[in-house]
Amino acid sequence: MKDRLVIFDTTLRDGEQSPGASMTREEKIRIARQLEKLRVDVIEAGFPAASNGDFEAVRSVAGIIKDSIVCGLARANDNDVRRAGEALKDANAGRIHTFIATSPIHMEKKLRMSPDQVLEQAVKAVKLARSYRDDIEFSPEDAGRSEIDYLCRILEAVIDAGARTINVPDTVGYTMPEQFGGLIRSLRERIPNSDKAVWSVHCHNDLGVAVANSLAAVMNGARQVECTINGLGERAGNASLEEIVMAVRTRQDFFPCETRIDATQIVPASKLVSSITGFPVQPNKAIVGANAFAHESGIHQDGVLKSRETYEIMRAEDVGWGANKLVLGKLSGRNAFRQRLTELGIELGSEEALNSAFARFKDLADKKSEIFDEDLQMLVSDETITQEREHFKLLSMRIHSETGETPTAQVVMAEGAEERKAESPGSGAVDATFKAIESMVSSGAELQLFSVNSITGGTDALGEVTVRLKKEGRIVNGAGADIDIVVASAKAYINALNKLHSKLERAHPQV
């Protein structure tokens, strides 16, 4: 019988460190429910000591999730550990994940602590965490640049103190696969009590080898991998969950372990995370990209038609592609709408929210003849967006654009209780719309990203727009969806303005 490879998803914590990817409590709950359907072993729901909002988000996820372990991150200090323990109080299965930096540069420059002080603090934190939970994980931050003799010393001590998962992070994405795999093997061989802990890895993708490093570690005895949906995360991101899972599943002849993941939920999870964070998935992204199973070459097409295995090592339907069929139309009733949302794992929380979403569905069904699951997911995401932090609200807009003439946009919006109206020319319809909005709000924000994606096929497809704004060092992503791409653009821009206005503070550490 093969070993179990534990899949530890940190989309809600480390993935949220991507600039502009901060999530609300409700958004974290939606993603956590999908991760539970995906059968993720551990869900790292956040960093409870970072803010009251993150504390409440972790507590809410812990109270809802039953089939996965819910984990809270804590620096190796009393306050952080206690906040994590309190946030996980109602968890069916909970884990406290505590960490402290162990590389010479981090200990000297950031912590200003001696190696002996760091070791003492680590042991103290693990012992305190054990007073709240039996399931304790410890990470030596920046392990990839730490001295191996010191790593052996501190990891032996925290295992003795009660840590039952030892996670080795390549915090800055510095190591190479052979080197990182060798590090895991050496630690397991040199630490006398290494057999009392599950060995885990958390790899960053700064040099594009996060997945390769993680898999090299698995081949050298690691039995937990920390990863994120779509590889989301700070800087270049984390190891991609879907790539780790499908590599192990596809190459069962090579890997000595297996996961319990329901791979058919991978694409739905990818789409949900993309829509909530506003980070689109690149078309050629492995497993979840739109082109992942597309064949342009005539030779490839001919081979696939004769035998799929000639050029496909996985089946698209095994990871959730092609499963989203036409389900509803304009004659569908409210009960059918509710039932389909339930099947998709979407819970709106109240009758009022359901009624509002159903009204939006009917409006959409009048505009496009075929409604797909992707449409419903985006419709609900858009509904959630419009309900949250609405200081600014789009009321109506009119665009005038013709060949040879300068486009103009007239926008009517609400700012608090006040209705405002502005008209502006622009180099295009979207540019004119953004300028009209800015003439009313004078945000002073810098537009860093404007991205457009089609939710489904066809000229009547919903368009999804992502806007990234930067102001005074804060970066936010706004998202909007509509059949009219200019309207979707206005929604996305206003959503970003609302996030800037809410002044959400994020203060996550890097692991």
Residue 305 has pLDDT above 50, yes or no: no
pLDDT given at position 304: 40
Looking at per-residue confidence, does 335 or 270 come out higher? 270
Task: Please identify, among 385, 413, 429, the residue that sits at the C-terminal boundary of a domain.
Answer: 385
74 neighbors 101 (Cβ within 8 angstroms): no
Task: Please identify, among 366, 385, 404, the residue that sits at the C-terminal boundary of a domain.
Answer: 385
**Model confidence pLDDT, tens digit, residues 7-44:** 999 999 999 888 777 788 888 998 999 999 999 999 99
Same-domain pairing of 298 and 173: no
Same-domain pairing of 317 and 348: no
Looking at per-residue confidence, does 508 or 123 come out higher? 123
Residue 451 in domain: yes
Q: Which residues pair with 215 in a beta bridge?
A: none
Write out the two tokens for 174: 């510095």
Residue 299 has pLDDT above 50, yes or no: no
Same-domain pairing of 41 and 19: yes
Residue 225 in domain: yes
Alpha helices in 201-323 (DSSP H): 210-218, 241-250, 266-277, 298-306
313 neighbors 348 (Cβ within 8 angstroms): no
Residue 409 in domain: yes
Same-domain pairing of 362 and 445: no
pLDDT given at position 507: 47
**Model confidence pLDDT, tens digit, residues 391-426:** 899 999 999 999 999 999 999 999 988 999 999 999
Pairing outcome for strands 446-454 and 257-258? unpaired
Same-domain pairing of 420 and 488: yes
Write out the two tokens for 318: 């095994």
Least reliable range by pLDDT among 168-177, 276-285, 303-312, 314-323: 303-312
Is the alpha carbon torsion for 304, 305, 308, 309 positive or negative? Answer: negative
Pairing outcome for strands 446-454 and 418-425? unpaired
The backbone torsions φ and ψ at residue 230, rounded to the nearest 5 degrees and listed phi first, read 65, 10
Same-domain pairing of 143 and 256: yes
The stretch 224-229 carries a mean pLDDT of 98
- DSSP class of residue 472 equals T
Residue 112 in domain: yes
Write out the two tokens for 248: 């192990």
Write out the two tokens for 56: 């409440």
Same-domain pairing of 213 and 345: no
pLDDT given at position 298: 47
Q: Which residues pair with 393 in a beta bridge?
A: 414
Can you give the CATH number for the domain in which 170 is found? 3.20.20.70
Q: What angle do CA 309, 266, 56 make, to 5 degrees?
A: 170
Residue 359 has a CB neighbour count (10 Å cut-off) of 12
Nearest Cα neighbor of 53 from 495, 502, 509 is 502
Our count of domains for the chain comes to 4
Same-domain pairing of 50 and 130: yes
The stretch 154-177 carries a mean pLDDT of 96
Residue 245 in domain: yes
Can you give the CATH number for the domain in which 409 is found? 3.30.160.270
At 73, the pLDDT band (50, 70, 90 cuts) reads very high
- Full residue range of the structural domain in which residue 318 is found: 289-323
Same-domain pairing of 297 and 339: no
Q: What percent of the chain has pLDDT over 70?
A: 88
**Model confidence pLDDT, tens digit, residues 36-64:** 999 999 999 999 999 998 999 999 999 99
Angstrom distances, CA of residue 50 to CA of 46, 78, 95: 9, 14, 17
At 346, the pLDDT band (50, 70, 90 cuts) reads confident
Would you call 307 exposed, middle or buried from its count of C-beta atoms within 10 A (0-12, 13-18, 19+)? Answer: exposed
Using the CB atoms, write b or e for 138-162: b if 16+ within 10 Å. Answer: bbbbbbbbbeeebbbebbbbbbebb
Residue 509 in domain: no
Residue 508 in domain: no
Same-domain pairing of 53 and 187: yes
> What single-letter amino acid sits at 98?
T
Q: How far is CA 485 from the centre of its chain?
A: 25
Q: Dihedral of the CA atoms 435, 440, 446, 452 (nearest 10)? A: -50
Q: What angle do CA 258, 263, 266 make, to 5 degrees?
A: 130
Nearest Cα neighbor of 169 from 240, 219, 99 is 99
**Model confidence pLDDT, tens digit, residues 348-388:** 767 887 888 888 788 877 777 677 776 777 777 666 655 55
Query: Which residues touch 249 (CB under 8 Å, ≥6 apart)?
Result: 258, 259, 261, 263
pLDDT given at position 337: 81
**Model confidence pLDDT, tens digit, residues 450-504:** 988 776 666 667 788 889 899 988 888 888 888 899 999 999 999 899 988 876 5
Cα separation, 354 vs 477, in Å, equals: 26
Query: Which residues touch 28 (CB under 8 Å, ≥6 apart)?
Result: 12, 45, 46, 57, 60, 61
Looking at per-residue confidence, does 96 or 332 come out higher? 96
Pairing outcome for strands 418-425 and 42-46? unpaired
> What single-letter amino acid sits at 446?
E
Same-domain pairing of 43 and 136: yes
Pairing outcome for strands 198-203 and 463-471? unpaired
N-to-C CA span, the chain: 33
73 neighbors 97 (Cβ within 8 angstroms): yes
Residue 327 has pLDDT above 90, yes or no: no
pLDDT given at position 300: 39
Write out the two tokens for 224: 């937990």
Write out the two tokens for 426: 């622009």
Pairing outcome for strands 474-482 and 463-471? antiparallel
Query: Which residues touch 430 (CB under 8 Å, ≥6 apart)?
Result: 450, 485, 486, 489
Query: Which residues touch 217 (CB under 8 Å, ≥6 apart)?
Result: 168, 180, 181, 184, 199, 201, 203, 225
Residue 117 has pLDDT above 70, yes or no: yes
Nearest Cα neighbor of 187 from 219, 152, 221, 162 is 152
Same-domain pairing of 70 and 9: yes
Nearest Cα neighbor of 275 from 42, 62, 25, 492 is 492
pLDDT given at position 31: 94
Residue 284 in domain: no
Mean pLDDT across the chain: 88
407 neighbors 426 (Cβ within 8 angstroms): yes
Alpha helices in 88-114 (DSSP H): 104-105
